[in-house]
Amino acid sequence: MEGTGRKRRVGIIGAGKIGGSLLVRLAASGDYELSVSDTHPERLAEYERSYGVGAASSNAELAEGCEIIIVAVKPWDVAGVLHEIYPAVEGTEKAVTSVAAGVSIASIEDGLPPGTAVLRVMPNVCASVGLGSAVVTSNEPGRRLLPEVMAIFRHVGDVIELPERLFDAATALHGSGPAYVALFADALIQAGVREGIPREVARRLVNATLQGTAVLLKEQSPHQVRDEVMTPGGTTAAAFVAMEKAGFVGAVYDGVNAAAERARGLGGK
């Protein structure tokens, strides 16, 4: 904790894909005093044994002992969790951070004592390999904690502050993004197999292509990468004509738009 030399007490409710990834990386950093709660106590023993994370017997107990509470349950479970932690948060300086898709700051505030510091983060599953990306925002009382919460999520990847009005779009873009890339990878592997390449070879070629392209895209724009590969009248140009005719780009726009609409429908506020 700032100035006191004491470690910040951070608690994670929900030891699933996002909560679990965060927990492991935060534990490895040694920078925090961590605790976790989950409806499946058997999931917590491993965190306690291997990472020295304290397993709370309830969400209320976790909230009691933490300064920053990270709610990492499914969107429809958030309201119930807030109800459970309400008494522990009341009359304190505790901050509540939610990673739930589509659940607005306003609806989180509704479930907590007035004036509670509320932060909202949209991470993605690449957090599990430390290469995640996350956007962060807060209500007014939560602003003082933005740097600290951003530092927490930096342990699992890149973190950017973004206004809440763009959160549903960001959820559709990078929150669901790894699944779109995996869909594309699978289609590419299948296409290679259809052309006669053994499946394992196709998989290795596609994986390496995705990794290499990701590195190139850090230094160059997508158009530059495309132009380097595309010889006029060549094979890539032929592929682009066929893919564009089949509506590839339009399908990506439609997919992201459908995900954003779905995110808008999740929180109800």
Ligand X SMILES: NC(=O)c1ccc[n+]([C@@H]2O[C@H](COP(=O)([O-])OP(=O)(O)OC[C@H]3O[C@@H](n4cnc5c(N)ncnc54)[C@H](OP(=O)(O)O)[C@@H]3O)[C@@H](O)[C@H]2O)c1
Torsion of CA 206, 208, 210, 213, to 10 degrees: -130
Least distance from C-beta 127 to ligand X, angstroms?
8
Closest CA to 88 of 25, 37, 18: 37
State how far the Cα of 203 lies from the Cα of 185, in Å rounded to an integer: 8
Using rule CB under 6 A, residue 125 touches ligand X: yes
Using rule CB under 6 A, residue 65 touches ligand X: no
Which of 9, 11, 12, 14 binds ligand X (CB under 6 A)? It is: 14
Give me Rg for the CA atoms of the chain: 21
Least distance from C-beta 219 to ligand X, angstroms?
27
Which of 3, 40, 194, 196 binds ligand X (CB under 6 A)? It is: 40
Which of 29, 39, 50, 213 binds ligand X (CB under 6 A)? It is: 39
Using rule CB under 6 A, residue 72 touches ligand X: yes
Q: Which of 77-85, 141-149, 158-166, 196-204 is the region at the interface with ligand X (rule: CB under 6 A)?
A: 77-85
Q: Which is nearer to ligand X, 14 or 54 (CB)?
A: 14
Q: Which is nearer to ligand X, 168 or 202 (CB)?
A: 168
Using rule CB under 6 A, residue 19 touches ligand X: yes
Using rule CB under 6 A, residue 81 touches ligand X: yes
Using rule CB under 6 A, residue 141 touches ligand X: no
Least distance from C-beta 205 to ligand X, angstroms?
26
Q: SS3 letters for 170-224?
A: HHHHHHCHHHHHHHHHHHHHHHHHHCCCCHHHHHHHHHHHHHHHHHHHHHCCHHH
Tokens of 93: 């300086």
State how far the Cα of 6 lies from the Cα of 21, in Å rounded to an integer: 24
Q: Which of 3-11, 26-34, 71-79, 111-119 is the region at the interface with ligand X (rule: CB under 6 A)?
A: 71-79
Closest CA to 173 of 133, 138, 212: 133
> Looking up tokens 């006669």, which residue turns up?
196
The residue sitting closest to ligand X, measured at its beta carbon, is: 16
CA 269 distance to own-chain centroid: 21
DSSP-derived letter for residue 64 is H
Tokens of 80: 């119930």
Within residues 175-214, the interface with ligand X by CB under 6 A covers 175
Which of 80, 198, 250, 265 binds ligand X (CB under 6 A)? It is: 80
Pairing of strands 132-138, 117-122: antiparallel
Q: Which residues bind ligand X (CB under 6 A)?
A: 13-19, 37-40, 59, 72-75, 77, 80-81, 99-101, 122-125, 175
